[in-house]
């Protein structure tokens, strides 16, 4: 059976359906040597090219939906490439065969924490749609005195430049002196919304960490800059939220040996992150000595 071109490209991990439609409209996609148009359908034996490169066409039965949980550090941007040469969240991810990772939402450069990636562009697109209202939880460190009245306003709602907004929950989470921690939840993903809500009460945010997306928590053992593949149970939880058919296969085994290998992989990730930090620090020190 034929399928819509943008759906096939999205499933292969090249981006969301909306992104694929934009690429098709821009003339970047061809089918059997002819420039594709919006609405085109393709058969399994069609030769599809994206920017002149042959794309692997696979049916839904041939593609395994994979999801990674990544612990984003501060200082990384959520773009594939940056003209300024800054590190991106894609730099440390493993390669995916015949496709690429698609980020489920974004975190700004000064925010750290849980960021999900999937090889299924359709899943990413549906999870990011506002109608899904996936609950996100953040740990927020504020600097300065926070009045009870301000916290109450953040619960009931304030007016931002792009409309009303509020936290579904605001809970104190400890701290010392003028540095206080809070856990907040909301179901929207507007640009810098958490920071802007606190700023509406003239409260400065000094740290912001996303610790949960839906029912998926940021693994406590996962170092900053590290990733881990989610098991099929969690993948299907996300697929249910997106109204997609459940996945029946996973590249992760469930036997004891596979679990042991996963633990070893996590240890390797931590060692690799430490090595990268040491290398960067050495480079900075060397540059400082040269300038001196």
Nearest to 215 by CA among 237, 190, 185: 237
Paired residues of 184 in beta bridges: 138, 170
Residue 216 structure tokens? 């998926």
Q: How many CB atoms lie within 10 A of CB 134?
A: 20
β-strand pairing of 204-213 with 136-143? antiparallel
Paired residues of 210 in beta bridges: 113, 138
Contact 119, 240 (CB under 8 A): no
Distance, in Å, from the CA atom of 103 to the CA atom of 88, rounded to the nearest integer, reads 12
Nearest to 1 by CA among 46, 63, 53, 36: 46
Exactly one of 91, 98, 108, 162 is catalytic; name it: 108
* All residues at 6 or more sequence positions from 203 whose CB lies less than 8 Å from its CB, including other chains: 142, 143, 144, 146, 150
Nearest to 10 by CA among 24, 20, 25: 20
DSSP labels, 36-70: --TT-EE-TT--EEETTEEEPP--TTTPPP-EEEE
The verdict on whether 82 is a catalytic residue reads: no
β-strand pairing of 112-118 with 204-213? parallel
Which residues are the active-site residues?
A: 108
């Amino acid at each position: 059976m034929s399928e819509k071109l943008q759906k096939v490209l999205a499933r292969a991990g090249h981006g969301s359906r909306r992104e694929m439609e934009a690429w098709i409209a821009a003339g970047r996609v061809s089918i059997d040597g002819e420039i594709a148009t919006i609405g085109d359908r393709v058969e399994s034996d069609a030769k599809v090219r994206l920017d002149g490169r042959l794309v692997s066409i696979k049916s839904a039965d041939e593609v395994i939906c994979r999801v990674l949980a990544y612990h984003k550090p501060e200082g990384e941007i959520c773009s594939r490439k940056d003209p300024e040469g800054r590190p991106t969240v894609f730099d440390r991810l493993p390669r995916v065969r015949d496709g690429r990772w698609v980020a489920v939402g974004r975190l700004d450069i000064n925010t750290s924490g849980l960021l999900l990636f999937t090889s299924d562009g359709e899943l990413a697109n549906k999870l990011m749609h506002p109608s899904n209202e996936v609950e996100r939880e953040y740990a927020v460190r504020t600097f300065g005195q926070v009045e009870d009245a301000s916290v109450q306003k953040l619960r009931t709602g304030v007016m931002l430049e792009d409309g009303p907004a509020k936290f579904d929950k605001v809970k104190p989470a400890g701290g010392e002196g003028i540095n206080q921690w809070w856990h907040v939840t909301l179901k929207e993903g507007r640009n810098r919304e958490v920071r802007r809500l606190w700023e509406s009460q003239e409260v400065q945010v000094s740290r912001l960490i996303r610790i949960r997306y839906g029912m998926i928590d940021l693994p406590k053992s996962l170092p900053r800059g590290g990733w881990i593949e989610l098991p099929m149970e969690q993948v299907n939880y996300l697929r249910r939220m997106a109204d997609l058919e459940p996945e029946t296969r996973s590249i992760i085994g469930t036997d004891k040996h596979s679990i042991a290998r996963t633990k070893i992989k996590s240890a390797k990730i931590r060692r690799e992150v430490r090595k990268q930090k040491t290398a960067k620090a050495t480079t900075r020190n060397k540059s400082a000595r040269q300038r001196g």
